[in-house]
Structure 1
């Protein structure tokens, strides 16, 4: 989840992460068809003349939809919006802030209507951004990317999560359709007091983690909190397990929906079996499929659970609730000795095709993703997606997240949110994971559902 979720993200994803989740795909249902009056996308020509002096644009009101609703996420948006208006008093920001799930369910209809917002956060995945691009509901940002130097400041490894071909079929290459603010990584939060009580250390290997789960269960603790009522959170748990058994290149091909990889491999089977082993061992809280995502992390913050596999977007809230009692690590190194973690960027900010003043919208996006904005993000407990190394590393769990993200991006691999794979993979995998966790299907049946979804998409995406 660019989510972000948060992620949403995914965001995401979510991954969000969010992202993150962001990432977040994560939101499910198929996109609404655009109205017959949908305009052609603007901004595809990188040489298009643009106005970068926002003070010369006259009086403008920008309607901005975001999903930065939690603690530090909301704090940074309020601060940046106030600073933007102070610098450009001629531009008024009308902010509409919705939860990750609410944004996803309302955005499709809004973009096809006549009163669409100007700037929106859109989940990177094919089911959202990909469909919006295909429906010509988003503006390609290449002219402003050139004018503002975004492609110089943002590495392509980050921009790939916001690139699509003009027809929306190719993900990871093509025009730039959005800019994210934050980096996301899915890892393992842990309760320091409970580890001490159980005689454990933060796990450095996969064996450490699995033995730690068993020790926690034997000690009368809830080893892992999971709130999978909305289906997408389990994608992050499975993705973390998958990174231990499946080569990173294979996960990347699967995650971006590219040909040449299969879900029904022995390595993916081992990952699905490992998740089922955790279910059979009683490592999750009671009824994870019936527990809300927010309720799960809040329960963890309240001392119910030793570990929580989730995205970095929860760092600010968990740090505020738990203080120095919470820590965060990237998943332990995989079989190749390198860390592989689900992650990427938070939900990118995009310009809709019906934006009345795209130059003002681009100026706003440039402002909230600038180097100064990255300092604001750091100060409010968020992790900047660029200029990360230039920031003063925060203390507590936020510092742990910076370290985990840096380690993964510098010497490991960030793996795409799995719902990115196809426009329907979020629904398919979310439902299949609920069935696997409920022990209604086998690991092999679970993977076959994913393979069927992937094969159907590739057959129609040529």
Structure 2
């Protein structure tokens, strides 16, 4: 993978081939090229976008960047770096709670005053409803196919066959978060955790050891449904990453009604019944869970590397992260990721040319550096293949963990990105499961029913 400098965006010079290659980025999106058919989109963009940005860099313009609250600090840093390069273009953030983002975004994109830039997780639906701009002209103009791996671009392509081929609707660079298991170093030492758990059984042993030592095994927030990170990790681990991706991308015959999905959910139910979560999990949101974790009130926190921007500086050096363990020694390690340096332009945006400059900026080293500082593995990093150990610094663990997942071809996506209705239902079901009001089979059946009813809307 090659990342261009800002000057390279305006001349043919490129870095030497492979200089900034990372297996992590390639692995994250290699799965997208092999997805099956999905819902047929019917683009309703008023007219083809020519991506004529020649005058946009020197003209006053204002962009609105819609982002989830959990990534707002990163989005602001990215916007600041862009405005430094294009001082006449102002970027303003519009934020929404993480658990509401998928539900709110389609309505905003369909409004008369939509955000110019956003990351629609339901890209098929956004294309089908004509909410996002066809970026083929931008891809040609900025030569993105020479800059960005085809496997990364594939995640932003939509055709009648679904995601993975066809016209481009998300553009930019290629970098994303690692979702895994954060741990408190002091508490890990107290319970005798002396190596990274690499299987679910080993992880469960650590959970039991913490519980027996009077330490809360997992600090979770479930008022906002963010136990969903752990649930999605379990789904991908037991179903396999491709089967989960097929559900998220709504490929024909994709289903949650499988023994593997129910086995994954049963593991979560067992851990809840064993008291492995904080007692107030259903009552607190993510900020409160971060506070508990940083205060030493729990051994593990299951989340993404955006958390590094929210934990207090006084906690720096006192925590680490490792990839979620594999089902067994012969199975891959799995994680969710998305292309945090790729986004869409609203079809009703009044500043498409300036927005296109923002997308092209995303494939520069300056933008990749912002991603790296925000805890997202960057294409500028070359540590792919490194082993994750408990004594590494967290930035080393993030890069090595990302590479571990990539080596196993284990990246997938969040189930709640399948449809807005699934997102809402999953939060409801997770709260019921932790409260003991439902069981694994009933939860999967409810999610499958919601998925089947909403996937082709």
* Cα displacement (A) at 1:199: 1.1
Is the aligned partner of 1:440 residue 2:442?
no
Q: Secondary structure, in 3 states, of the residue corresponding to 1:225?
A: coil
Determine the C-alpha separation between the residues in 2 that align with 1:105 and 1:404. Answer: 31
Quote the Cα distance in structure 2 between the aligned partners of 1:426 and 1:103. 10
2:63 corresponding residue in structure 1: 62
Aligned-pair CA distance for 1:103: 5.4
Partners of 1:74 and 1:372 in 2: how far apart?
13
> In structure 2, what is the Cα distance between the partners aligned to 1:251 and 1:103?
21
1:264 Cα deviation after fit: 2.6
- 2:108 is aligned with 1:110: yes
* 1:349 paired residue number: 343
1:408-458: CA deviation from partner (whole Å, max 9, x where unpaired) = 113331012112334422122222222222221221111111222333346
Given that residues 319 and 396 in structure 1 are in contact (C-alpha distance below 8 angstroms), is that contact kept between their aligned partners in structure 2?
no
Say which is worse superposed, 276-285 or 431-440, in terms of deviation: 431-440
Does 1:246 pair with 2:244?
no
The CA deviation at 1:209 is 0.8
Deviations 1:113-162 (A, max 9, x none): 33333x222331x2xx4433233222111110121122332223333333
In the alignment, is the contact (CA less than 8 A) between 2:82 and 2:361 conserved in 1?
Answer: no
User: Contact 2:135–2:170 (CA<8 Å) still a contact in 1?
Assistant: yes
Asked if the contact 1:315–1:401 (Cα under 8 Å) also holds between the matched residues in 2, the reply is: no
> Aligned pair count?
406
Counterpart CA distance in 1 for 2:258 and 2:71 is 39
Partner of 1:80: 81
Contact (CA 8 Å) 1:319, 1:397: kept in 2 or not?
A: no
Structure-1 residue corresponding to 2:152: 158
- Of 316-325 and 202-211, deviating more is 316-325
Quick check: 2:383–2:400 contact (8 Å CA) kept in 1?
no
- Cα distance in structure 2, aligned partners of 1:65 and 1:423: 17
Does the CA contact (< 8 Å) of 2:57 and 2:357 recur in 1? no
TM-score by length of 2: 0.79
Residues 299 and 74 from structure 1, CA distance in 2 versus in 1: closer, same or farther, beyond 3 angstroms?
farther
Corresponding residue for 2:259? 266
CA distance in 2, matches of 1:96, 1:396: 33
Question: Does 2:395 match 1:398?
Answer: yes
Using the alignment, how far apart are the partners of 1:448 and 1:347 within structure 2? 35
Structure 2: which 5+ residue stretches go unaligned? 1-42, 387-391
Shift of 1:385: 5.5
Partner of 1:20: none
Does residue 318 in structure 1 map to residue 311 in structure 2? yes
Paired position in structure 1 for 2:198: 204
Moved more, 326-335 or 189-198: 326-335
Given that 2:135 and 2:168 are in contact with CA atoms closer than 8 Å, whether structure 1 keeps it comes out as: yes
Q: Shift of residue 53 of structure 1? A: 6.2
- Residue 50 of structure 1 pairs with residue 52 of structure 2: yes
**1:77 deviation in Å?**
2.5
Which whole-Å deviations, capped at 9, do the CAs of 1:216-272 have from their partners, x for residues lacking one? 0011111001101122x1221112222332233322222322233432322222211
Match of 2:12 in 1: none
Pair 1:130–1:249, CA change in 2 (3 A): closer
CA contact (8 A) 1:69 1:97 kept: no
CA distance in 2, matches of 1:106, 1:457: 16
Aligned to 2:228: 235
Please give the TM-score of this superposition, normalised by the length of structure 1. Answer: 0.79
The 8 Å contact of residues 334 and 340 in structure 1, kept in 2 or not, is answered as no
2:32 maps to none
How many angstroms does 1:192 deviate by?
A: 0.7
Match of 2:218 among 221, 224, 232: 224
Which residue does the alignment assign to 1:303? 296
Gapped regions of structure 1 (runs ≥ 5): 1-37
Corresponding position: 1:451 with 2:448:
yes
**Which residue of structure 1 aligns with residue 16 of structure 2?**
none
**Structure 2 contact 237–332 (Cα < 8 Å) conserved:** no
User: Residues 124-143 of structure 1: matches in 2 within 5 Å?
Assistant: 124=121, 126=122, 129-143=123-137
3-state SS in 1 of match to 2:447: helix
Q: 1:178 aligns with which of 170, 180, 200?
A: 170
333 and 412 in structure 1: CA distance in 2 versus 1, 3 angstrom threshold? farther
Q: Does the 8 Å CA contact 1:70/1:317 hold for their aligned counterparts?
A: no
Q: Is residue 345–residue 385 contact of structure 1 (8 Å, CA) maintained in 2?
A: no
SS of residue in 1 equivalent to 2:436: coil
Alpha carbons of structure 1 residues 161 and 216: separation in structure 2 relative to 1, 3 Å: same
Matched, 1:93 2:94: no
- Secondary structure of the 1:350 match is strand
Deviation at 1:164, TM superposition (A): 2.7
How does 1:266-285 map onto structure 2 within 5 Å? 266-285=259-278
How far the C-alpha of 1:173 sits from its partner, in A, is 3.6
What is the SS of the residue equivalent to 1:389? coil
2:376 to 362, 370, 383: 383
Structure 2 counterpart of 1:425: 422
